[in-house]
Copies of this chain bind each other. A is one copy, B any other.
Amino acid sequence: MSFAFQREQLVRFGHCDPAGIVFYPRYFEMLNELIEDWFARDLGLPFDVLIGQRQVGMPTAQLDTRFLRVSRHGDRLVQTIRIERLGGGSMTLRIAFDGADGTRVEFTQVLVCTSLATHKPQAFPADLRAALERSLAAQQETNT
């Protein structure tokens, strides 16, 4: 599958519940770390710079999740981000967390660029826009 970014996540003791499987709010913490790593490592715009210094917010407007298989302590999840739609100030991502037996969780996430002064939507800053277009181009190349 073509993708914009990929990394691996270990399922830790602290992610799991008394039923011995990942407590689902922990998947959303993992999701946020994945997006954070994509921005820092691939897009070159770490959140502490973008959000902290430049006061550009990137909140989630919509997040649709399918929990397909359980994950257990010690599992390794391959996490993949695919850009489905890149707009002027928002984007839609398709994200999969895959285990050895297939996809565990699937997300469709809409991220919106905002000003942290007002929490209102705004266009992506030019450097972020350019980085997202490069990441989308790289994704399309992995497809061929």
Contacts and interface: CB of A to CB of B under 8 A. Distances in A.
A33 B23 CA distance: 12
A66 B60 CA distance: 8
Instruction: Tell me the dominant secondary structure on chain A's binding face.
Output: mixed
B52 A18 contact: yes
Interface residues of A, number: 41
Interface string A62-86: 1111110010111000000000000
A48 interface: yes
A59 interface: yes
22 contacts: A13-B17, A13-B32, A13-B47, A14-B23, A17-B17, A18-B18, A18-B20, A18-B73, A19-B116, A20-B52, A24-B32, A25-B26, A25-B32, A47-B74, A48-B72, A49-B74, A51-B73, A52-B72, A59-B70, A63-B65, A63-B67, A64-B65
